[in-house]
Chains A and B, each alone.
Chain A
């Protein structure tokens, strides 16, 4: 039943997922080059050649890594898992899957061209009234609409599976995937409204001014659940795949489902914690969304428990004793475990600093400083990235009918450690620099000598960045091997079993999506309606488009 499936993906299904992985790792490579360039420039170690500026590079880095790499890998991974656990993708799902892929890819190329031609140096958050060329926004629209098609592909398959298996609990991987895409649909609504009804018409000149606060609020309505769109597939890998690598079962089928339902409900009505220092939003509404933000920490606390429980259980099965004996029994030499594990360890820091960021007035200590950059490079740049790399080490050879050789595995272990080292150095320096007041998203400067003593820390960051780039090159080498050069063979899809006893006790209510969506809608209405109406009714005159680069 749940988790137990003998279905193996067809070549057509494998091709669909692999297409996504090709783009994902290409984006990783180019985005990584951008990151390296930034780190060196900001440390004062290089000057950019004429015709290219720091902020262009930064825009490319953000878009390619935070939007393209993530979305493509997620879709490739989730489509494969849904195919595996629901008996294959029906033709409608495959059609939507490919439609999604092509829409996203055309959009990505369009957006990248606008960035490279310096027509969209607005960073991946594209805050008005800085105005990019309309084609930038159109490119991003295609990416989002494409991802909706991918979501529809998943839902088509899900609905068909439910029809053919009435009364049965949806396989865990598929359930968690549906939850992820439900969140994605709800979240992207905000940015879709912002882009389609505000930014595109305004950037074409069809409307003269834009309501800044409203546009930002719609973005951050999307911006926070975006990080859960990244995190939830990593959690799927931890809940459903990692136990198999450890030779144990899923720790708790129902708790995994509950955690994801909680993410759907609580990751959306919290966007104000990215807007804590803005005018136009009252302290009361900010605090309410801060409160809700703390609630969304809970499913991550649950996940932490599940993970330690999985490790302890697996360890004790192998003979571990004592509180931390399991540590000695983990497969440290297996990159499929090591990479995600390192990601989890870093998440302890990333989660802690995230809680600080959302803590209302404490945000004044860190907002828009390098602390924030140090923070987010951890959950997305380490936890999610390394978990995805770890998944790639078995999923890609599974799809390409090759094997992950011991040699590649050793290289991957080295890659994981190099990544950890580079990220530790860079992120620690960023956290420290942020507390000193060093700003994020800023090219090399010493503020006319007033900030000269900040430069050494920026050099430390560059050291970390260079090490990370080495990590990126290694990862690309490993992926190219798994995609094209590794010896042919059979690799197993890592899917853990659910305890059959346990599976009987999964409450069906968890699958009443309508209920959860209704609660989500109520919370969003409560958390956002009054401040948004206020933003519209009491808005100052809107802003005309401006190009400041």
Chain B
């Protein structure tokens, strides 16, 4: 039986592990929120311009 080609190994944390942080996550979701607000604002502006 051939061995699996794309096996995944759980990675060991680095020897001097940084305390884990989710700063990047917060930045990412806030950007996402900004995008949602921008799209909404854009269509809202279009709606108002057609009133």
- Residues on A facing B (Cβ under 8 Å): 244-248, 301, 304-305, 308-309, 312-313, 315-319, 321-326, 334, 336, 348-349, 351-353, 355-356, 359, 361-362, 364-366, 394, 403-406, 409, 435, 487-492, 494
Query: Closest residue of chain B to A489, judged by CB?
Result: B2
What residues of chain B lie closer than 8 Å to A361, measured between beta carbons? 47
B5-A404 in contact (CB<8A): yes
Given A323-B28, A348-B35, list of 17 further CB < 8 A pairs? A301-B29, A305-B29, A308-B24, A312-B22, A313-B20, A316-B20, A317-B14, A321-B18, A323-B27, A352-B39, A356-B39, A394-B6, A406-B5, A406-B6, A490-B2, A492-B4, A494-B8
B29-A488 in contact (CB<8A): no
Distance of A458 Cα from B40 Cα, bound (Å): 25
- Residues on B facing A (Cβ under 8 Å): 1-11, 13-14, 18, 20-25, 27-29, 32, 35-36, 39-40, 43-44, 46-47, 50
What residues of chain B lie closer than 8 Å to A491, measured between beta carbons? 4
- Given known A-B contacts A316-B20, A318-B11, A326-B24, A405 and B5 have beta carbons under 8 A apart: yes
Query: Closest residue of chain B to A494, judged by CB?
Result: B8
Identify the interface centre among A247, A248, A312, A353: most chain B CB within 10 Å of its CB. A312
What residues of chain B lie closer than 8 Å to A405, measured between beta carbons? 5
What residues of chain B lie closer than 8 Å to A352, measured between beta carbons? 35-36, 39-40
What residues of chain B lie closer than 8 Å to A336, measured between beta carbons? 6
Distance of A244 Cα from B27 Cα, bound (Å): 24
What residues of chain B lie closer than 8 Å to A309, measured between beta carbons? 22, 25
- Given known A-B contacts A313-B20, A404-B6, A365 and B43 have beta carbons under 8 A apart: yes
Least CB distance from A339 to B in Å reads 13
A317-B11 in contact (CB<8A): yes
What residues of chain B lie closer than 8 Å to A494, measured between beta carbons? 8
Closest 6 CB pairs of A and B: A489-B2, A352-B39, A308-B25, A323-B24, A308-B28, A352-B36
A325-B24 in contact (CB<8A): yes
Distance of A389 Cα from B13 Cα, bound (Å): 31
B6-A488 in contact (CB<8A): no
A245-B40 in contact (CB<8A): no
Distance of A245 Cα from B8 Cα, bound (Å): 6
